[in-house]
Structure 1
């Protein structure tokens, strides 16, 4: 990759360089090298932090405080049906002013836009504190060897990050109409009911797993979790799989399974919900001759960056570029902000997310440049305020 000077760092071309590295989780395919070489050329001190097979990077420009961090990920989801794409998913072609490629929206463009905005600030000598980048290759996967472990390592070292901007695609309908100031938590559960297989004509000799599973799912779905929380929509439980393998019509099967997910607001914690699952499993197992096991996995807790100077600063920076203040929202799925919030206040600002994870994922070139402008205004306002 050619070494870029401050004047030559172009957000669109850097995005294209990144897209051409097919970094489908957990593969890196050289994407982190592109980021590291770019930031090194800007004067950043770069540290590769590899956990398991995942490449991570923490880079910092300057040593003074405050430290404004940008967080993002180089990994992308699989292409899916490659033949359904109008262009090669990793060719990074620009057609009629639109960049087509996996990761163009989610979220290689944001990494490039913040790097370009940082280059402008450094060239103008307007970084009196520090700017850092926390980039992972494990956001789209199980997220166990990525940001969470980098955050743990930085905390153990005493590294101070004062505020963080995450580059997830947060805009809903038009560029800059929404930023995320929090996220709902997420918990998954797998319910396994082990009964006793038998003949349908002799139910007294069997223990049908369907009945307790139905009782448990009914109890879970009947409960209204809450009516919402300030800044958050109501929590919701969704059953995502029900299975009772049985190839015969005259056999009571010996096992039934179900999976579910809850996206929850700050009315709950993941552990409280996991305890509730266990309680309902116990209730459903009364008078059942088998066993119910619940395996819960908490993906992240709900969090909220309270409105204040930082959220006002980011909203004003967006309005500087778009002419309209953004909605401060908490909707959508989870992101690595759930880990970073252990270090500092965090807010997410990015492109329109309509095509992320889709065939022909795409981002208008003009919007990538406008995102760079937003990030530039965030940097300027942040250090002006200090």
Structure 2
């Protein structure tokens, strides 16, 4: 069967129930699509103690440079209440010009379109003047331990090198052609435990309420703002995401309080410089006596997330201009170049080659009745196909 139709490709993929970390048949479906096009296909199982094994896929067409990577994931989030779906989440039904199913936009749709674009390129021009590879994980929606990170390491050890990469995440907020992601903010999380002295609420002088210090410490992390933003990035933003004492009694001062926070940071900071600034703020607030008059600095511990996501910005003109021109030619829209949003697997790929992100409209991702416009699937395929022509022409020139 020809892989040139993105709708058929996507229906095939959606009908594979690949909820993280299950392969669900999705990678087998990809292998069936890619092998007739001349791709060599490797199925790589990554393992780590304490985490589920994950099967990933790496496919390559061509043996010379320049080398373009397309990256994505076939794993999807759970469907939630299946009875709330107007169409079965793994049936890939089409109604009123929309294709319904879990993963339709996040992000089996992007994969389906890219494969269709490559198939059309091969049908029209033959193999590209270089190499195209697909790096597909089954662990993007999960802990991201046995997925892209390990697949990149496996491919590098095998001798793979790339000149550029496109991640097919749903980047467009409203309309296809709105936005290309050329970077991402960094992300770091911390968990703070503040140690006090438990006691009776009627005798506060015999206790030391850790919530008094914790409230000052949380405030100090958020105010003043960490920065005002930079040329390419929004202001760094810190959110306190939970506060807890484990205390259910209203007349007991708790022995400890804890709170967690997450920071999305711009290129004003590195993960290390940001951590240093946050610790400085915590130390200052721990010694603040406004809510604890006459007290010494309270004791606290902070635990950082094991792997912060580092900020990055892609400045590869050939990559960005080739994709921008393809988007504008097909849609008539000049896409914005953005660094907004959360993290993606581009944060790992950036260490190997320049990377951008462009895919479908993401308004229904992770929702009940996740769906994609059938017309958008064809449009995205045309964008990817034109991008392939332009990128290889620019890279070879």
Q: Distance in 2 between matches of 1:103 and 1:153?
A: 26
The structural deviation recorded for 1:81 is: 2.3
Which residues in structure 2 correspond to 1:287-306 (within 5 Å)? Answer: 287=295, 291-297=299-305, 298-306=307-315
The structural deviation recorded for 1:332 is: 0.9
Q: Is the 8 A contact 1:178 1:326 kept in 2?
A: yes
**Residue in 1 that maps onto 2:25:** 30
The structural deviation recorded for 1:346 is: 0.6
Q: Distance in 2 between matches of 1:159 and 1:196?
A: 57
Query: Which ranges in structure 2 are unaligned for 5 or more consecutive residues?
Result: 48-52, 288-294
Q: Is the 8 A contact 2:216 2:286 kept in 1?
A: no
The structural deviation recorded for 1:304 is: 0.6
Runs of at least 4 residues off by over 4 Å: 287-290
Any idea what SS the aligned residue of 1:242 has? strand
Any idea what SS the aligned residue of 2:45 has? coil
Alpha carbons of structure 1 residues 223 and 289: separation in structure 2 relative to 1, 3 Å: closer
Q: Distance in 2 between matches of 1:353 and 1:288?
A: 51
Q: Is the 8 A contact 2:3 2:33 kept in 1?
A: no
Q: Distance in 2 between matches of 1:51 and 1:228?
A: 38
| Correspondence 1:365 to 2:374 | yes
**Residue in 2 that maps onto 1:207:** 208
Q: Distance in 2 between matches of 1:103 and 1:230?
A: 34
**Residue in 2 that maps onto 1:15:** 10
Q: Distance in 2 between matches of 1:9 and 1:126?
A: 14
Q: Distance in 2 between matches of 1:270 and 1:289?
A: 26
Q: Is the 8 A contact 1:70 1:133 kept in 2?
A: yes
Alpha carbons of structure 1 residues 299 and 74: separation in structure 2 relative to 1, 3 Å: farther
The structure 1 residue matched to 2:391, chosen from 367, 382, 386, is: 382
Q: Is the 8 A contact 2:227 2:268 kept in 1?
A: yes
Q: Is the 8 A contact 1:277 1:294 kept in 2?
A: no
| Correspondence 1:321 to 2:316 | no
Any idea what SS the aligned residue of 1:164 has? strand
Q: Distance in 2 between matches of 1:194 and 1:27?
A: 42
**Residue in 2 that maps onto 1:342:** 351
Which residues in structure 2 correspond to 1:133-282 (within 5 Å)? Answer: 133-282=134-283
Report the number of matched residues.
381
Cα RMSD, aligned residues only? 1.6
The structure 2 residue matched to 1:46, chosen from 38, 41, 46, is: 41
Q: Distance in 1 between matches of 2:83 and 2:194?
A: 41
Q: Distance in 2 between matches of 1:355 and 1:344?
A: 30
Q: Distance in 2 between matches of 1:216 and 1:60?
A: 51
Q: Is the 8 A contact 1:207 1:288 kept in 2?
A: no
Q: Distance in 2 between matches of 1:220 and 1:14?
A: 48
**Residue in 1 that maps onto 2:129:** 128
1:54-93 deviation line (CA, Å, top 9, x unaligned): 1111110010100111000011112122222111111111
The structural deviation recorded for 1:307 is: 5.5
Q: Distance in 2 between matches of 1:193 and 1:288?
A: 13
The structural deviation recorded for 1:350 is: 0.6
Q: Is the 8 A contact 1:191 1:295 kept in 2?
A: yes
Q: Distance in 1 between matches of 2:104 and 2:237?
A: 30
Any idea what SS the aligned residue of 2:261 has? strand
Q: Distance in 1 between matches of 2:43 and 2:207?
A: 57
Q: Distance in 2 between matches of 1:264 and 1:177?
A: 23
1:143-198 deviation line (CA, Å, top 9, x unaligned): 11111122223333431111101100011211111111111111111112232221
The structural deviation recorded for 1:290 is: 5.9
Provide the TM-score with structure 2 as the length reference: 0.92
The structural deviation recorded for 1:277 is: 3.1
The structural deviation recorded for 1:217 is: 0.7
Provide the TM-score with structure 1 as the length reference: 0.94
1:80-117 deviation line (CA, Å, top 9, x unaligned): 22222111111111111100111001110111111111
The structural deviation recorded for 1:121 is: 1.3
